[in-house]
Structure 1
C-alpha cells in the first residue's frame, strides 16, 4: 500500500513539476518550487556554477553556446528572486566560491576555462560586489573547478587542461596539491567540495566528467592528495556538495549520469558506503548544477538548449505536521493580539 501511494505521489510530482519546469524530487519528505526564472538565449549556453554570498544573493555562471567567444557571464539573483546580468565578457566560467571574512577578502572568485582552439589558458578571476572583475591567479590550464576549505581558509582549483588540483593562496600564487587524475583525455575536474564533518571519510571530494570510466565519476582524496573512487555506478559527474545544515541528513550529493539512469544528468544522494540513489531530475532537461543555500535548501538550475529561460528550483524539507500546527497556533496568537 505504501509503495502504491508513493508511486502516485511521484506521478503527481512529476506531472506538476514538468508543467512548471521545477526540479522533480523523488523523496516525499521534500518539495520543489520555482525560486527564480530569467530570460535565456542561445548565447547563454549552459549553467557553469552557482554560489551564494553572505547577503543571500545567488550567483549563476553561464558559458557561451559556442565556447569560443567572450559571451560567458555571471547572473546575480537577489533574495527576492530578481535576476540580472552581473558580469559579462568571460569565456567558459565554471565553479565560483565566496570568500567573505577570510584572507581572500569579500569577493566572489570564478574559474574561467577556455577551449584549446582559441589559444587561451584561462584563469581565476576576482569579482567585487559592484561587478568589477580582475585577474587573480593563473592556476594551471583551464581552472574550471573551484573549492574553498572554510576550516583552514584555503582555495583549491581543479584544472581541466592538465588534470591538476592546485592550492591557490590568498596572494594569487599556487602550489600543486595533486596530479590526479592523469590522462583523462578530455573533461577533467569539474566540481570540488571539502568534507569538514565526521560522517564521510576523506578530505576532499571531486567530481570528474572526463572520458573513460577509470577517470570519470566521484572521487575522494586524502590530505596528501591520494584519490580513490566512490559511487562506482555514477559514470560521470559534474558537481557535488555536502549538506552542512542537516536538512538532507548531512549527506553528499552529486550530479551525474549513472548506469541505472543513462539519459539526462540528474541529482544523486551518495551514502557513506558508496551506495547512491536518484534524488531529483530536471524533468525533460539536464540538472547538472546545484548548490546548498544558507537556508539549508538545495538550489538547482535547469535549462535545455531549446529553452528560452533558465529556471532555478529550490528543494527543501517539508515541515512536520507538528511544526505546521505550532506555526498555526503562533499566527493565531499574533492575530488575536492585533484585534
Structure 2
C-alpha cells in the first residue's frame, strides 16, 4: 500500500497548531462601525429590518459611542437622518454648517477625541427626491446632473472637514468626484484630510434595509445611471483607477459578499488601503436566519468577515462590529 508523502493534516492536528499557522486574523482595528444620527431628541429607535441597529439623536448617541469605545472599535462612519421637512431638491442640509452630520461630528470629536470619524459624503439622505445629486427634467426624463452635483458635494465635504471629520467618504458615484473634493478640501485648508472613496459601488439590491435606516430611497426611478451594473468587473478596475489617479487615499468595494472577486482584483492591482462594506442586507439576512435558529450567528459572521479580509480588504465597514469584537474577545 502506498502512503502519501505530503500530509497537509499535520498542521491541523490541534487548536494550538492551527492557530500558529493561521494566515488571516480579525481584530477590532479592522472594523468601522456605521452610526445613524437623526434630528430630534430622545431618539433610540431600532431599525425594524436591522435588529440591533438604531437611529440615535445627538442626546442619546453617547450610549452607542461609549460601547464602541469600550470594545476598542476606533472608527465610526456617520450617516445623517434629517427631518423630512428639512429635505429639498438640492440637499441643502447636507452642507449646512449646523446640519445633523456636522453637529454629530463635533460632538463625537469633543467626547471621544481618539475616535476616528468618517463622514459619509452624499446628498441622497438630504434631497426630497432621494437621489445622490441634482436632478433636472430633460424632455420628461429625470436626469442627475453630474457636474452641478459635484459643486454641492464639495461644499458638503468641506463643511464636514470643518466640523472635525477625520476622513471624508464620498459615496455618490459622480464622475470626477474624488478630484473635485480633493481640490475643494485643499483650497479650504484641509489638505491633511484623506478621502475614502466609494470607488466601486454597485447598483445593488443589498441596500434595502439601509434605505429604511437612512430614509434615503429614491422617490422615482433608480440609481443605475450612476451606480455600477452588477454584471461588470472590468469597469470596476476603471473606476478604481480613476479614483486612485484623482487622489483617493482609500478605495472601497460595496457591497461585500457578492463582490469578493472585485475585492481581490483591486487588491492585486492597487497598493492603497482597501475597504469593503458589509452592507445592510448582508447583515439583515444573517440576523433573520439567526432569529429563526437556522444558523450559528457567531460562526457565520466571523467566517464572513474573515472571508472579506482574506479576499484582500484591510478594513471592513460592518453592522456586526460590536458583536464581532465581543466574540473575538471570547464573550
TM-score (normalizing by structure 2): 0.31
Task: Determine which structure has the larger helix proportion and give its number.
Answer: 2
Task: Determine which structure has the larger strand proportion and give its number.
Answer: 1
TM-score (normalizing by structure 1): 0.31
Higher relative contact order (CA 8 A, sep 6+): 2
